[in-house]
Amino acid sequence: MPGSVIPHISRVRILYRKILHLHRALPLELKALGDQYVKDEFRRHKTVGPEEAQCFLQEWENYADTLWQQVSQNTRASTSQPLFGSHLPEEKLNAFREEQVGQLRELMVEATKPKRQFNISDDGDCKT
């Protein structure tokens, strides 16, 4: 195995674990959505070429840095409603491939669904 592959694999694994760890600070619905999205994206990009891999890692490192900053700010502010996310600049959106725009649309739909409510009821039929 070439020496340059091992640091790359290590960098990917560290970044992957870092992101999943940061997701622990997200509200439950966002954590579940974010974890699934990260897992799918990292799996999808396992076999990309070196140039695309560099771009992929850079964008996810930027995401991790931004999320870390937001988690830190939310912790210091201790507001009842934590704030996460940022606006996507139009120039970045215009650079997306059609497939990426579709993925972004799916992510937006999932992220903006009403919160799921758990309905826990006691049917009174329990016998002890």
Kindly state whether residue 37 falls inside one of the protein's structural domains. yes
Q: How far apart are the first and last CA of the chain?
A: 62
Report yes or no on 89 lying in a domain.
no
The answer to whether residue 102 sits within a structural domain is no
Radius of gyration in angstroms for the set of CA atoms belonging to the chain, rounded to a whole number:
19
Q: Report pLDDT for 101.
A: 86
In a domain, 23, yes or no: yes
Whether residue 115 contacts residue 29, with contact meaning beta carbons closer than 8 Å, is answered with yes
> Residue ranges of the chain with pLDDT lower than 50?
1, 118-123, 127-128
CB atoms near residue 69 (< 10 Å): 11
pLDDT of 2 reads 52
Residue 80, pLDDT score: 65
Instruction: Give the span between the Cα atoms of 100 and 91, in whole angstroms.
Output: 14
State residue 122's pLDDT score.
Answer: 47
Q: Are 67 and 24 in contact (CB under 8 A)?
A: no
| Contact call for residues 74 and 32 (beta carbons, < 8 A) | no
Does 59 reside within a domain? yes
**Inside any domain, residue 99:** no
Please provide residue 103's backbone torsions phi and psi, each rounded to the nearest 5 degrees.
-65, -40
Q: Which domain holds residue 23?
A: 5-79
Report how many domains make up the chain.
1
